[in-house]
Amino acid sequence: AQKVTQAQTEISVVEKEDVTLDCVYETRDTTYYLFWYKQPPSGELVFLIRRNSFDEQNEISGRYSWNFQKSTSSFNFTITASQVVDSAVYFCALSEAIKIQGAQKLVFGQGTRLTINP
Amino acid sequence: EPEVTQTPSHQVTQMGQEVILRCVPISNHLYFYWYRQILGQKVEFLVSFYNNEISEKSEIFDDQFSVERPDGSNFTLKIRSTKLEDSAMYFCASRIAGGPTDTQYFGPGTRLTVL
């Protein structure tokens, strides 16, 4: 069975600090996809990134970066020079490769509530 | 930029009543999903839908739930007889298969409150 663990329930930092959100996953599949979504206080789910299991290259997008390490089953997310607008709940998610046409459900972690204080 | 829309944004109902939550997926997407999020908890998968039929459902998605794509644009979730524990945020998502944009895009959610 697939499982995603975000051990950090809440993180609070001061603006401009760097912060890393941890994500550890479990799956028996050899091909899978990992995601990060942001849920701001308004409640919607905003897609941030998708990574497939055979692409371990790290990714950087502005102040955001992601570190995927298959050896430790981790897909961590770092925000550099955090800003108050980064305050949100961040979810890591996992989906399997296509086995059932039309499936590929997302399995979410519990989320990490990130608060950036001015 | 195209987006998934959901109506209503907030629905209040009495226990035992039927509710229908509506979603309009992104127009060229082929795969549709419903998820729910009980307040303060993680997002949980309910059901996926493709080619006019359910492709997968979770144990949460029991006989009280049903989904339908009544026309070319809407995708609905019906709860026949609501319970207090159905109170949650319900998210619709849609996906186009294949390519670099193959991911699920979520609507803004419908907050369901069962009294």
Which residues of chain B make contact with A93, given a CB cutoff of 8 A? 43
Cross-chain Cβ contact A91/B41 below 8 Å: no
In this structure, what token pair is assigned to residue A35? 């995601």
CA distance B97 to B81: 34
**Residue B110 dihedral angles phi and psi, to the nearest 5°:** -120, 125
**pLDDT tens digits for B28-81?**
888 999 999 999 899 999 999 988 899 999 999 999 999 999 887 899 999 999
- Tokens 């401009």 appear where? A16
**Using alpha carbons only, what angle is made at residue B86 by residues B90 and B46, rounded to the nearest 5 degrees?**
50
In this structure, what token pair is assigned to residue B6? 């959901």
Cis bond leading into A40, ω under 30°? no
Determine the residue among B6, B23, B55, B104 to mutate to test chain A binding: the one whose Cβ has the most chain A Cβ atoms within 10 Å: B104
Whether the predicted pLDDT of B98 surpasses 80: no
Of B45, B89, B108, the CB nearest to A105: B45
pLDDT of residue A57: 83
Query: Containing H/E element for B11?
Result: strand B10-13
Q: Band of the pLDDT at A27, cuts 50, 70, 90?
A: very high
Whether the predicted pLDDT of A108 surpasses 60: yes
Cross-chain Cβ contact B103/A35 below 8 Å: yes
- Tokens 């298969």 appear where? B97
Cis bond leading into A41, ω under 30°? no
**pLDDT tens digits for A33-92?**
999 999 999 999 999 998 888 888 888 899 999 999 999 999 999 999 999 999 999 999
pLDDT of residue A72: 95
pLDDT of residue B1: 74
